[in-house]
A and B are shown apart, each in its own frame.
Chain A
Amino acid sequence: MPVLRSIRERFARERPLDGVAVAACLHVTAETANLVHALAAGGARVALAAANPLSTQDDVADALEGVAEVHGRRGDDAAAYAAGIDALADGAPDLALDDGGDLIAAAHERLAGATEETTTGLVRLRGMDLRCPVLAVNEALAERAFNDRYGTGQSTLDGIVRATNVLLAGRTIVVLGYGWTGRGVALRARGAGASVIVCEVDPLRALEARMEGFEVMPALAAAERGDIFVTVTGGRSVLRGEHFARMKDGAVLANAGHFDVEIDLDDLRAGATGGVCEVLPLVEQHDMGDGRRLHLLARGRVVNLAAAQGHPAEVMDVSFALQALAAEHLVRHGAGLGPGVHPVPDAIDHDVARLKLDALGVQIDTLTAEQRTYLASWRA
């Protein structure tokens, strides 16, 4: 994670977070540990809770002892998860780094500022009466390009393959949702030799999918065709009873959206009149009582984290670099930001991209003075 490393080195010199209490609700992985180290190097006191009980890597949690206060173990129940959030909120943090919005929702009245990592979280935060500024890390371009499209695109398929060992080539994969993440999943699924169907509600995105050469159709029609279904909408009950009723025997259901509500688990269990059994770790077979079996991965939770190892480190490098710089920005300039969701400043986006290019050994061009003048005059 070279980008975060270079930020960590600068933070150690400049100490921009000196004395700041940072609460972070993130997936407890090795990559997150690097973010925690960078924040700590900048002078922050860090408390960490697991954003998802299935994604916690316990060895990482152990290794952070002494650097940060860590709440949550792999496989915790809902109550333990809520307790972790409460513990962070009770610690009177100055800043919150969140993944899903639960922490900010619990603590926003006392925060100086926060950052949110996911689309799902931002949807929720925009719908509430926020009392502090929140930087939409998830909407930074560097984040979109890396985390959502390339990161989730690759790791979602990785999760499906690890959980099922299914060959993707020759299969029909239905991608529900063609946002940044859906684009990544569709792109990589095609690359693996799958035939890809996209389902959308947004006409512009649907048109984009069609122009990329993907087959676009309503989810009900796709339900009959798909071998593997991936929900990436941020919405709920995207796949529900009427879809399950039409699916082929052996269909695989996976969710790569943040919450476990995109696949309607109540409907699925209600339909499984023949019973539910775990055929492989993280693969639940639902016997639909009519000879068809549907395979739910990771109980409908985010499959790339639950069944694989989440994003590759270099993807998280970019995301967490944005988080670290956003935290610094909130400390330096947060007072000037009103309550509500704000975009990550362009300068931070560009900084992160520039650091990433340096890490890749890529050099780029700079506008000449003449070109800058030309562009400026054209705009005017």
Chain B
Amino acid sequence: MTTIETRPTTGDFKVADLSLAAFGRKEIQLAEHEMPGLMAIRREYAERQPLKGARITGSLHMTIQTAVLIETLVALGAEVRWASCNIFSTQDHAAAAIAEAGVPVFAWKGETLEEYWWCLEQTVRWPDGTGPNMILDDGGDVTLLVHKGVEFEKAGAVPAPSPTDSEEYAVILATLQRSLEEDPQRFTRIAAGIKGVTEETTTGVHRLYQFAEAGRLLFPAINVNDSVTKSKFDNLYGCRHSLIDGINRATDVMIGGKVAVVCGFGDVGKGCAESLRGQGARVLITEIDPICALQAAMQGYQVVTLDDVVETADIFITATGNKDIITADHMARMKHQAIVGNIGHFDNEIDMAGLAKLPGVQKINVKPQVDEWVFSDGHAIIVLSEGRLLNLGNATGHPSFVMSNSFSNQTIAQIELFTKNDEYEKRVYVLPKHLDEKVASLHLGALGVRLTKLTSDQAAYIGVPVEGPFKPDHYRY
């Protein structure tokens, strides 16, 4: 077990620099104005305190926007412990402000893998020896930790990492090994107290469905990701905003005139392609799904395979949710100074380990989260955020307004699961349509949108209530 480097912290939290709290607080106040949905929820539920008694473990990028979410949960009565769900995504001033406000937060930008899993472990361990009764997850790492913890405690042993396991999985196993030695029933006890999890992102949702299908899901889950006001907003408009922000901050290259390849044309890929095209890049798409590929073609994007264009394109972005999209061989074949970045949740879309193993390859750090990788023949590529989410690593992630949509869904999902727990089984649910529509409604005023109202005659004609929900569940927007 690697020892955790000691950082200057006091009390029940761990952040990079508490003196950043005042700056963080100012940015939180700015963000509050841009997050009308969360602020409306705070006002609506201020009296009722629906999350009183909730002990929420949160694992979600510790940014300014997340700080507004955390303070919303607290304002609704919850006790919260928080960590980031990515080693690079913490905004240290946001974490400092949250720590200063008295919320136990364990997050700093640039954690090691060991530190990352240590932080997650801290969020599930309450000082009184209990654990959370709710999880708010992004990518499913806390859910995974609890499920694996229970599994290994039941088996009485943590397996040794196999050579095919990722470096990160080995760290998870080591973390659980240490836990098992300290307390052989820790995760079993914690899991028994958990009423449910609300999951933020595609990748985590995928894990949840896998757990549920195998009958191994230990508590009910709400798939926040597939709320329309989440995936169609955060994934699409958020990435459309923050992808080019990340590329610009990292490299300052002129995007106009470049050839950019976006791997994956799901919601995230669609947003990425639009923003790159909007800056004047020629955008090429790779896809495995014929529907998404056809969508790309019908929007005028050329659909290619990565092998076709790997030697000629200037910018490569992965947005697939899958692994081994850009291999070490691909990267070696790219042209000099090609830019490679990932906006998918995990860092396995680009084979960074394979890149590092290439004979003679050299990594030269340009600035934080920007590395030049020089190949043995002297040509080099630029890799952003070490293959992790570049919009968070190189920029500040999604803008507040978009996150207000996502986090309003999270908050409403937490209230649903916590207050109506007996209505939910150990399955994965999406939020009902009327709550999705409610989240959207909470954001219209800030944009000056004037909604047209159905007459009762019109409503009857299409068979919906005047106040909604307006669409059937299968409607795709």
Say if A and B assemble together. Answer: yes
Contacts A213-B281, A213-B283, A215-B282 hold; do A193 and B299 have CB atoms under 8 A apart? Answer: yes
User: Of B256, B279, B281, B300, which one neighbours A196 at CB under 8 angstroms?
Assistant: B300
A184-226 CB contact bits vs B (8 Å, 1 = yes)? 0000011011111000000000010011111100000000000
Q: Say whether A169 contacts B298, CB under 8 Å.
A: yes
Residue B297 at the chain A interface, CB threshold 8 Å: yes
Q: Say whether B301 contacts A195, CB under 8 Å.
A: yes
Which A residues are CB-close (under 8 A) to B302? 172, 195, 215
User: Of B257, B277, B294, B300, which one neighbours A210 at CB under 8 angstroms?
Assistant: B257
Shortest beta-carbon distance, A213 to chain B, in Å?
A: 5
Residue A170 at the chain B interface, CB threshold 8 Å: yes
> How far apart are the CA atoms of A169 and B282 in the complex, in Å?
16
Residue B280 at the chain A interface, CB threshold 8 Å: yes
Q: Say whether B294 contacts A170, CB under 8 Å.
A: yes
> How far apart are the CA atoms of A343 and B277 in the complex, in Å?
36
Q: Say whether A212 contacts B300, CB under 8 Å.
A: no
Which residues in window 285-309 of B have CB below 8 A to A?
Answer: 294, 297-302
Q: Say whether A195 contacts B257, CB under 8 Å.
A: no
Q: Say whether A211 contacts B300, CB under 8 Å.
A: no
Which B residues are CB-close (under 8 A) to A210? 257, 282
Can you name the residue of chain A whose Cβ is closest to the Cβ of B277?
A213
> How far apart are the CA atoms of A204 and B283 in the complex, in Å?
21
> How far apart are the CA atoms of A196 and B299 in the complex, in Å?
11
Is the interface on chain A under 10, 10 to 19, 20 to 34, or 35 or more residues? 10 to 19
User: Of A193, A207, A214, A215, which one neighbours B298 at CB under 8 angstroms?
Assistant: A193
Q: Say whether A170 contacts B297, CB under 8 Å.
A: yes
Q: Say whether B300 contacts A195, CB under 8 Å.
A: yes
User: Of B257, B280, B282, B300, which one neighbours A194 at CB under 8 angstroms?
Assistant: B300
> How far apart are the CA atoms of A232 and B153 in the complex, in Å?
73
> How far apart are the CA atoms of A211 and B255 in the complex, in Å?
8
Which residues in window 324-352 of B have CB below 8 A to A?
Answer: none
Q: Say whether B297 contacts A213, CB under 8 Å.
A: no
Shortest beta-carbon distance, B470 to chain A, in Å?
A: 27
Shortest beta-carbon distance, A5 to chain B, in Å?
A: 34
> How far apart are the CA atoms of A367 and B302 in the complex, in Å?
46
Which B residues are CB-close (under 8 A) to A172? 302
> How far apart are the CA atoms of A11 and B32 in the complex, in Å?
60
> How far apart are the CA atoms of A332 and B42 in the complex, in Å?
72
Of listed B257, B277, B294, residue having the most chain A CB within 10 A: B257
Which B residues are CB-close (under 8 A) to A189? 300
Which B residues are CB-close (under 8 A) to A194? 300
> How far apart are the CA atoms of A308 and B257 in the complex, in Å?
33
Can you name the residue of chain B whose Cβ is closest to the Cβ of A167?
B298
Can you name the residue of chain B whose Cβ is closest to the Cβ of A172?
B302
Q: Say whether B283 contacts A190, CB under 8 Å.
A: no
Q: Say whether A170 contacts B298, CB under 8 Å.
A: yes
> How far apart are the CA atoms of A177 and B237 in the complex, in Å?
34
Shortest beta-carbon distance, A127 to chain B, in Å?
A: 34
Which B residues are CB-close (under 8 A) to A169? 297-300
Which B residues are CB-close (under 8 A) to A215? 282, 302
Q: Say whether B300 contacts A190, CB under 8 Å.
A: yes
Between A and B, 24 residue pairs with Cβ closer than 8 Å are: A169-B297, A169-B298, A169-B299, A169-B300, A170-B294, A170-B297, A170-B300, A172-B302, A189-B300, A193-B300, A195-B301, A195-B302, A207-B257, A210-B257, A211-B257, A212-B256, A212-B280, A213-B256, A213-B279, A213-B280, A213-B281, A213-B283, A215-B282, A215-B302
Chain A residues packing against B (C-beta within 8 Å)? 169-170, 172, 189-190, 192-196, 207, 210-215
In the complex, the 4 A-B pairs of residues with the closest C-beta atoms, listed nearest first: A211-B257, A169-B298, A211-B256, A170-B297
Given contacts A170-B294, A190-B300, 6 further A-B pairs with CB under 8 A are A170-B298, A193-B298, A193-B300, A196-B300, A215-B282, A215-B302
